[in-house]
A and B are shown apart, each in its own frame.
Chain A
Amino acid sequence: MYTFSNRLKIVSLILVIVGAGLWMTSYMSSHVTVEEVKTMLAEESSHGGGHGEATSHAATTTDAHGDTSHDVAADDHGDEHAEHVKHQIHNRPYAALYVAAFFFFMIALGVLAFYGIQYASQAGWSPVLFRVMEAITYYVLPGGLLVLAVAMFAGDHIFVWMNPEMTDPTSDKFDALVAGKSGWLNKTGFFIRGLIFLAGWSFYRYISRKFSLAQDTAEDNRNFKKSFRWAAGFLVFYIYTESMMSWDWIMSVDPHWFSTLFGWYVFASMFVSGITVIALITLYLKSKGLMEFVNDSHMHDLAKFMFAISIFWTYLWFSQFMLIWYADIPEEVTYFVTRIEDYKLPFFGMLALNFIFPFLVLMNSDYKRIPWFIVMAGIAILVGHYIDVYNMIMPATVGDRWGFGMAEFGAIFFFLGLFMLVVFHALSKAPLLAKGNPFIKESEHFHY
């Protein structure tokens, strides 16, 4: 049995409190007025900053001509731009909160899919890790509800299509494309679908955990067989709903743009992050001497999955990128143009962290058994996939007004603390070895 030590509890609580404090500070300071933004932009352009080209241009024309009609036009343009930047600055805390909320939720959901696959394939190597997986998936329901809550709280700060004016033909903000999609992209539909997805996933999580605990003391394998059937059903439900979830919760922040393999791409991201967290928590418990039954070969297999799914993620990332880059259709390619122009470092840095680093570090067979190699690659993968989610949400919400400051770190600390509280609490509720699983002997003797 694992007991949630007070020290770890306090660390998690501190993370939650510090995170909440940092985030609130950034939230309070994000309420800037148009006037403040104008001063800020003027300062930026006088410093020759990369941004605010439009304003500096407007400023020079007015100065040079002093003509009234020009003056008015330039002022109008400046106002419009400042208004736009003001919205981006307002959006940032919301977007930062949403990125962190989704990132930690996606870890839990990725582990749930991995767990379901272990049952459906009747894998013999992994049952010693089941209790760790079950503990992580405990976060699916609270994490998912929090994502929906943040989405509801943020509204059109993240999802522009939630602004009712966009579908109103009489409004000057009317957008024909968004209006055309309003059959799917509407607030009611978004939250109902979200709740259906979460209900399905948590139901499988609940029932599978119940059978897993019941199997510990059972005489026969009836619980295991039921769990097997539910797992097969869940995986079918999961692959459809995960795809729809990724359209709703991520792709819709850019409501004009769409990619047909987006669901798979997000899946690869959550799968590799989830497997990495299984490996990290297992190593942590092993270092405490609580999981002696986990041997080198189990770690080797987890590291193989980290390696393989990192490559799989890169494959999907590149498949999405290359087709859009090759075709060069304006409405598609704008997605990557924004990212390469305004997000160069996170966009290419993520490739290094998610592909090149794990690829080189985990390639050698022997290194997959060395704990600190797994931890090193694992941290790179988790940071990389956080940035991946960041790259999916931020360009659409804050444009080039991005950064890593109080809002982002506050949100990360807050959700990390919460994730740790939930997961370690769940870990302490059951023995760490699913001893009734029919494959447990095979798993304990697993040898590669």
Chain B
Amino acid sequence: MESSKVIHAIYTDDDVLMSAVKKVKAAKHHIEEIYTPFPVHGLDKAMGLAPTRIAITAFMYGCVGLTVAIVMMNYIMIEDWPQNIGGKPSFSYIENMPAFVPIMFELTVFFAAHLMVITFYLRSRMWPFKKAENPDPRTTDDHFLMEIPVHGNENELETLLAETGAVEINIVDKEAH
């Protein structure tokens, strides 16, 4: 991908940013990305982002965890080295099942939580030794940055963004990644 021109509008308040997003969307401009120092409630909806599907992955990971727990306990405690559980040497999975419920619960939660976090990182394109994509370090402190691609309409965008209360408007060449 060749380098493209984008406009960076910087805000200092999340409420101002929210109303700016609504105005920009109303003027039918595409917002490429917004960088904020903290999660802004309702920003995803205002930007028109598709709802997250992380909950579905969490459910599937939970099912994997539950299955792993069932199969694992069956192998360890019943098949490979049959155990006398609680003085009831039945060596039957179903009769010893209550003893395995805490493990089923723990592994369900463990798989769902860890794999969900890993999925989230990968989906956000974050992995070890990854160079930060953040265009302006101030967005990790107290500034909010809205990135809009430019297609020869710099002036129009600049006036619009100035109206929305941006404290700084820069046009930059963005390198492809």
A residues contacting B by CB (< 8 A) are 318, 321-322, 325-328, 363-365
Q: Which residue of A lies closest to B41 (CB)?
A: A447
Chain B residues near A321: list those with CB within 8 A: 98
**Sample of 8 more A-B contacts, CB < 8 Å, known A321-B98, A322-B98, A326-B98:** A318-B98, A322-B99, A322-B101, A326-B99, A328-B87, A328-B88, A364-B55, A365-B55
15 inter-chain pairs at a CB distance below 8 angstroms, sorted by A residue, are A318-B98, A318-B101, A322-B99, A322-B101, A322-B102, A325-B86, A325-B98, A326-B86, A326-B98, A326-B99, A328-B86, A328-B87, A328-B88, A363-B59, A365-B55
| C-alpha spacing A245/B98, complex, angstroms | 29
B20 to chain A: closest CB distance in Å? 21
A343 to chain B: closest CB distance in Å? 17
| C-alpha spacing A322/B85, complex, angstroms | 12
| C-alpha spacing A328/B99, complex, angstroms | 13
B residues contacting A by CB (< 8 A) are 55, 59, 86-88, 98-99, 101-102
Interface centre among B88, B98, B99 (most CB of A within 10 A): B98
Q: Which residue of B lies closest to A318 (CB)?
A: B101
A190 to chain B: closest CB distance in Å? 34
| C-alpha spacing A321/B97, complex, angstroms | 12
Chain A residues near B86: list those with CB within 8 A: 325-328
| C-alpha spacing A326/B100, complex, angstroms | 11
| C-alpha spacing A328/B88, complex, angstroms | 9
| C-alpha spacing A325/B95, complex, angstroms | 11
Chain B residues near A363: list those with CB within 8 A: 59
A295 to chain B: closest CB distance in Å? 15
A321 to chain B: closest CB distance in Å? 7
Chain A residues near B101: list those with CB within 8 A: 318, 322
Chain B residues near A327: list those with CB within 8 A: 86
Shortest 6 CB-CB contacts between residues of A and residues of B: A326-B86, A322-B98, A325-B98, A328-B86, A328-B87, A318-B101
| C-alpha spacing A327/B59, complex, angstroms | 34
Q: Which residue of B lies closest to A327 (CB)?
A: B86
Query: How many inter-chain residue pairs (CB < 8 Å) link A and B?
Result: 19
Chain A residues near B59: list those with CB within 8 A: 363
| C-alpha spacing A205/B102, complex, angstroms | 39
| C-alpha spacing A211/B41, complex, angstroms | 35
A384 to chain B: closest CB distance in Å? 19
| C-alpha spacing A150/B102, complex, angstroms | 40
B124 to chain A: closest CB distance in Å? 21
Chain A residues near B55: list those with CB within 8 A: 364-365
| C-alpha spacing A321/B55, complex, angstroms | 31
Chain B residues near A365: list those with CB within 8 A: 55
| C-alpha spacing A426/B87, complex, angstroms | 56
B21 to chain A: closest CB distance in Å? 18
| C-alpha spacing A363/B56, complex, angstroms | 11
Q: Which residue of B lies closest to A326 (CB)?
A: B86
B77 to chain A: closest CB distance in Å? 14
| C-alpha spacing A365/B101, complex, angstroms | 26
A324 to chain B: closest CB distance in Å? 10
A446 to chain B: closest CB distance in Å? 13
Chain B residues near A364: list those with CB within 8 A: 55
A328 to chain B: closest CB distance in Å? 6
| C-alpha spacing A326/B102, complex, angstroms | 13
Chain B residues near A322: list those with CB within 8 A: 98-99, 101-102
| C-alpha spacing A230/B88, complex, angstroms | 51
| C-alpha spacing A363/B99, complex, angstroms | 26
B58 to chain A: closest CB distance in Å? 10
| C-alpha spacing A365/B54, complex, angstroms | 12
| C-alpha spacing A318/B97, complex, angstroms | 12
A310 to chain B: closest CB distance in Å? 15
Q: Which residue of A lies closest to B102 (CB)?
A: A322
| C-alpha spacing A322/B86, complex, angstroms | 11
B22 to chain A: closest CB distance in Å? 16
B125 to chain A: closest CB distance in Å? 25
| C-alpha spacing A219/B102, complex, angstroms | 54
| C-alpha spacing A364/B59, complex, angstroms | 10
| C-alpha spacing A443/B155, complex, angstroms | 44
Q: Which residue of B lies closest to A324 (CB)?
A: B98
Chain B residues near A328: list those with CB within 8 A: 86-88
A28 to chain B: closest CB distance in Å? 43
Q: Which residue of B lies closest to A323 (CB)?
A: B98
| C-alpha spacing A364/B101, complex, angstroms | 23
Q: Which residue of A lies closest to B55 (CB)?
A: A365
A308 to chain B: closest CB distance in Å? 15
B95 to chain A: closest CB distance in Å? 10
| C-alpha spacing A322/B98, complex, angstroms | 6
A313 to chain B: closest CB distance in Å? 15
B88 to chain A: closest CB distance in Å? 7
B26 to chain A: closest CB distance in Å? 21
Q: Which residue of A lies closest to B85 (CB)?
A: A326
Q: Which residue of A lies closest to B88 (CB)?
A: A328
Q: Which residue of B lies closest to A360 (CB)?
A: B59
Q: Which residue of B lies closest to A364 (CB)?
A: B55
| C-alpha spacing A328/B85, complex, angstroms | 11
B5 to chain A: closest CB distance in Å? 38
Q: Which residue of B lies closest to A365 (CB)?
A: B55
Chain A residues near B98: list those with CB within 8 A: 318, 321-322, 325-326
| C-alpha spacing A240/B87, complex, angstroms | 36
Chain A residues near B87: list those with CB within 8 A: 328
Q: Which residue of B lies closest to A322 (CB)?
A: B98
Chain A residues near B102: list those with CB within 8 A: 322
| C-alpha spacing A328/B86, complex, angstroms | 8
| C-alpha spacing A209/B59, complex, angstroms | 43
Chain A residues near B88: list those with CB within 8 A: 328
B73 to chain A: closest CB distance in Å? 15
| C-alpha spacing A322/B87, complex, angstroms | 14
